[in-house]
Amino acid sequence: MKKGGSSRDTTAKTAQVLFTPETERRCVSAGTTVLEAARGAGLDLSSPCGGDGLCGKCRVIIKKGEVLSVPTSLLTREEIRQGYVLACQTKIEGDLEVQIPPESRTEAAQFLIDSDAQRFRALHPAAEAVSFPLAPLARKVWLDLPPPTLDDSLSDQSRLFREIQRRHPAAVMQMGLKVTQKLPRLLRSSNWSVTATLGSRGGTQEIVQLEPGNTEGRNYGVAIDVGTSTVVTHLLNLGTTERVDAEAVYNSQRKWGEEVTRRIIYSDSGGLDDLQKAVVSDINSMLSAIVERNNLSLNDISAVVCSGNTTMAHLLLGISPGTIRKSPYVSASAFPPPVRAVEVGIQINPRGLLYVVPGIGGWVGGDITAGIMSVGLHRSESIRMLIDIGTNGEIALGNKEWMIACSASAGPAFEGSGVRHGMKAMRGAIERVTIGGDGHVQYRTVGNARPRGICGSGLIDLVAELYRVGSIDRSGRLLSGSSDRVREEDGLLEYVVAPGTRTETGKDICLTQTDLTNVLSAKAAIYSGAQALAASVGLDFKDIETILIAGGFGNYIDREKAVTLGLIPDLPLERIRFVGNTSILGSEMALLSVDAWQELTRIAQSVTYYDLISHPQYFDEFLAARFIPHTELDRFESVAARLAKERA
């Protein structure tokens, strides 16, 4: 039985909670939320809002027992009748049986579909195309040293340094005590034939490891994109530049909130260690899977380059990001120095180094620095714009003469949060939508599975198509009677995308009026941010030669529908290019070349950070962009002409 109202005294009372269908049991104190109990039992429920009762994703069904549940508008009357509650807003009052429905689970999302690294592998040009000299951040050098004699009586360390300097000159060389302690025995037991692993730390060349014999062929590094939603890892052979393997998982920090601001708040409340351990665990799980598949050892990985937004970089390093969300919005560290990967818990060679790509500002991080380098924005003769369509909506504009960047917080709607049946691009997500003239909806799902929800690219398609066929007006308002799929539920209109008879959950997948509002706000943030950034330097979109769309799901967006929606400017489609995950590509480039790593620092130092709040017309631009495609139709002449022709 579910109860509402004020809390009662539950001092010293405990309860047994049974979670089905797993049959996991958990003894908790009365007053514990169902979400907390589920996590304590090792069951990771979806909770994009971080447990604030705002997203409605942590739905569970109370089968038996008593709870105290806060009323919410995120559940329909029918769902409430069936026993649904929000786990984060429901306190346990006694012994309980809780059923977790499929749509509330996140276990299946741990490793992305198709191992989903395949979706990421295809996004980038070959590593051999990197326009920097091959000089990896970690390189292996096989040395056949001449033994000491009375005429050549250098110390073992000086002898080693001399031979390395002949091959790879460096202004400063160093070797740690642990390596030095092993040096005498290692040189003599290997008959003076050793392989030195050299790491780069600023202008210093460090011997991070010595091995007997020739192991030059086993030198690997990893490039990692630490995204707010997804963590992607690429394994590279540092000798051949080959991308050997890739893996991707959803960022486990999401249980504390999909948006970085919620994670910052959790960090400030004592959760920094939890957040740091979560992302490091994600990285280590991917590394273990990759080395096992390729018959390697973690010891073969000598260097890691990570890129991510400023908050993700801080959390990875265990640095508080609290100052980022407080005026004047500065970070603790924009240029973190290389550190031993083991210092943050990353399991590679114990002496291997971790490099974190420098950021540009509190809300524009190393992912954009890496993206700028990977697309050559800083070397471009013409003016180009790079837009990373994601939760933070980072945008960079410029050419080889100047660059400026901003963050237009789009929120997590395109990542599935704030949309009733929204989800990430995992198995069963609707990723393509077309509506025929007869109103028939055709869709494609990730993995060709029965639909479970709608991901970002599917939402863009769906809203653009609803506008095209006249089921919503320019303000995004659903129109009653425009389609037999438009219906009223609890006094509000919604559009049925897929009936329950065709879905995995057996429930209708719908787009609600609230969903439409959130999607239009997200697209408006991206468009108005780009418009304001261009206007801040006296430019219009027509002055920009190419717009480059980055981000994990960028390659899955239909350009024409994105323009119809008003997400991106109305330019000839050949001037809009999808460039995939430029963050990890930039990290790969740095991993393979010391010059590229140094260039990242120069880029971060040369980009001007622009705060959109300082733009006098930004808020007006945002409101104007909340219409489809925009309040000012003359900005989208091709859309108006195409739709007029279709509707004629």
Q: What is the mean pLDDT of residues 545-566?
A: 88
pLDDT at 554: 66
Of 242-246, 290-294, 348-352, 424-428, give the lowest mean pLDDT range.
424-428
CB 449 within 8 A of CB 500: no
CA atoms of 44 and 201, how far apart (whole Å)? 39
Same domain, 579 and 488: no
Q: What is the mean pLDDT of residues 220-225?
A: 98
Beta partners for 190? Answer: none
Q: What is the mean pLDDT of residues 233-258?
A: 92
- The pTM for the full model equals 0.87
CATH of the domain at 23: 3.10.20.30
Q: What is the mean pLDDT of residues 168-190?
A: 94
Cis geometry, peptide bond prior to residue 21 (ω within 30 degrees of 0): yes
Q: What is the mean pLDDT of residues 39-45?
A: 82
Q: Is residue 371 in some structural domain?
A: no
Tokens of 109: 């999302």
pLDDT at 122: 40
Residue 108: pLDDT over 50? no
Same domain, 405 and 529: yes
Q: Is residue 275 in some structural domain?
A: yes
Same domain, 507 and 417: yes
Give the Cα-Cα-Cα angle 240, 246, 248 (nearest 5 degrees): 155
Same domain, 334 and 244: yes
Same domain, 203 and 319: no
Tokens of 105: 């689970």
Same domain, 599 and 533: yes
Q: What is the mean pLDDT of the chain?
A: 90
Rounded to 5 degrees, what are φ and ψ at 361?
-160, 180
Q: Is residue 36 in some structural domain?
A: yes
Same domain, 623 and 489: no
Given 185, 212, 239, the domain boundary residue is 212
- pLDDT category at 294 given cuts 50, 70, 90 is very high
pLDDT at 392: 81
Same domain, 230 and 314: yes
- pLDDT category at 552 given cuts 50, 70, 90 is low
pLDDT at 264: 97
Model confidence pLDDT, tens digit, residues 370-413: 999 999 999 999 999 999 987 788 999 999 999 999 999 887 88
Domain that holds residue 160: 138-212
Q: What is the mean pLDDT of residues 22-32?
A: 86
Strands (DSSP E) along 309-351, which ranges? 339-340
SS3 154: coil
Q: Is residue 80 in some structural domain?
A: yes
Which residues are CB-contacts of 214 (< 8 A; sequence separation ≥ 6)? 142, 193, 195
CA atoms of 446 and 491, how far apart (whole Å)? 32
Residue 113: pLDDT over 60? no
Helix ranges (DSSP H) in 416-551: 456-468, 513-536
- Pick from 333, 408, 400, 335: which is nearest to 373 by CA? 400
Model confidence pLDDT, tens digit, residues 310-326: 999 999 999 999 999 99
Model confidence pLDDT, tens digit, residues 534-545: 999 999 999 999
Helix ranges (DSSP H) in 376-512: 456-468
Same domain, 155 and 281: no
Residue 292: pLDDT over 80? yes
Higher pLDDT, 11 or 507: 507
Give the Cα-Cα-Cα angle 325, 326, 331 (nearest 5 degrees): 65
Q: What is the mean pLDDT of residues 420-448?
A: 91
Q: What is the mean pLDDT of residues 578-585?
A: 90
CA atoms of 263 and 47, how far apart (whole Å)? 12
Same domain, 265 and 326: yes
Same domain, 404 and 420: no
Q: Is residue 65 in some structural domain?
A: yes
Residue 117: pLDDT over 80? no
- Pick from 447, 461, 446, 370: which is nearest to 414 by CA? 461
pLDDT at 639: 95
CB 362 within 8 A of CB 324: yes
Rounded to 5 degrees, what are φ and ψ at 141?
-130, 120
Q: Is residue 120 in some structural domain?
A: no
pLDDT at 125: 42
- pLDDT category at 597 given cuts 50, 70, 90 is very high
Q: Is 327 exposed, middle or buried (0-12, 13-18, 19+ CB in 10 A)?
A: exposed
Q: Is residue 495 in some structural domain?
A: yes
CA atoms of 412 and 458, how far apart (whole Å)? 14
CATH of the domain at 339: 3.30.420.480
- pLDDT category at 55 given cuts 50, 70, 90 is confident
pLDDT at 198: 95
CATH of the domain at 193: 3.10.20.880
% pLDDT > 70, the chain: 94
- The residue assigned the tokens 């346990």 is 92
pLDDT at 2: 52
Same domain, 151 and 251: no
Given 514, 534, 554, the domain boundary residue is 514
- Pick from 216, 203, 193, 213: which is nearest to 139 by CA? 216
CA atoms of 493 and 514, how far apart (whole Å)? 9
What are the CA-CA distances from residue 386 to residues 158, 370, 399, 529, 547 (Å)?
A: 48, 11, 11, 12, 6
Q: Is residue 368 in some structural domain?
A: no
Q: What is the mean pLDDT of residues 262-276?
A: 96
**What is the number of structural domains in the chain?**
5
- pLDDT category at 123 given cuts 50, 70, 90 is very low
Given 484, 514, 544, the domain boundary residue is 514
pLDDT at 394: 94
Strands (DSSP E) along 477-617, which ranges? 486-489, 492-498, 509-512, 546-550, 576-580, 608-609
Strands (DSSP E) along 70-171, which ranges? 84-86, 90-99, 138-144
User: Checking DSSP bridges between strand 394-398 and strand 384-388, what pairing results, if any?
Assistant: antiparallel
